[in-house]
Amino acid sequence: MEARIDTFATPTGAKFAKYLIGASRVLHEGSVPVSTLHLVEIRASQINGCGFCLDMHTKDAAAAGETPERLNLVAAWREAGCFTDAERAALELAEAGTRLADGTGVSDEVWENAAQHYDEDQLATLVAQIALINAFNRGNILVKQPAGDYVPGQFDALK
């Protein structure tokens, strides 16, 4: 499969990607564990069916030390005993925030569960991460960005 367009080769696309990647960098420098942010990125990408983002974020998570067991069980996190209560709350929030079109929104119960594990700044980070990965997913799906060739760190030069 070949992408419909190389957005990095257009002035607007390159600038926009640079800002999105910069936003991601800010979120990964916060106090939410990077491993949790990777789980959120992976789960939203699974729901949205974004192969490129799944390729990228599973490889980045593995490079950061995530175990194959946990990576293989993200889609079944409710049944898997390898995730902490805080990670489960983040995954639940990611699912609710990604499935907005289902009409259920983010329930008070889901929000309150996340708030038991994360302070306000961390909640803001999670909200931003969920919104950001959904934006990345949609852009990559729109252009049919192919999966499989991502190399961890390949976007580090975009600052």
* Per-residue confidence (pLDDT) for residue 156, from 0 to 100: 79
Domain count, the chain: 1
Q: Does 58 reside within a domain?
A: yes
Q: Does 123 reside within a domain?
A: yes
Q: Does 17 reside within a domain?
A: no
* Per-residue confidence (pLDDT) for residue 71, from 0 to 100: 98
Dihedral of the alpha carbons of 46, 132, 108, 101, in degrees to the nearest 10: -60
* Per-residue confidence (pLDDT) for residue 157, from 0 to 100: 74
Q: Does 147 reside within a domain?
A: no
Other residues' Cβ atoms within 10 Å of the Cβ of residue 124? 14
For helices 85-98 and 120-142, the axis angle rounded to 10 degrees is: 50
Dump the DSSP string for 83-103. S-HHHHHHHHHHHHHH-GGGS
Q: Does 6 reside within a domain?
A: no
Indicate the helix (H) or strand (E) that contains 72: helix 68-73
CATH code, 41:
1.20.1290.10
At residue 90, what is the residue type? Answer: A
pTM of the model: 0.95
Task: Split the chain (159 residues) into runs of 10 and give each run's mean pLDDT.
Answer: 91 93 94 98 98 97 97 98 98 98 94 98 98 97 95 80
Q: What residue numbers bound the domain in which 110 lies?
A: 33-142
Phi-psi sector, 153: left (phi>0), alpha (psi -120 to 50), beta: left
CB 147 within 8 A of CB 32: no
Q: Does 154 reside within a domain?
A: no
* Per-residue confidence (pLDDT) for residue 154, from 0 to 100: 86
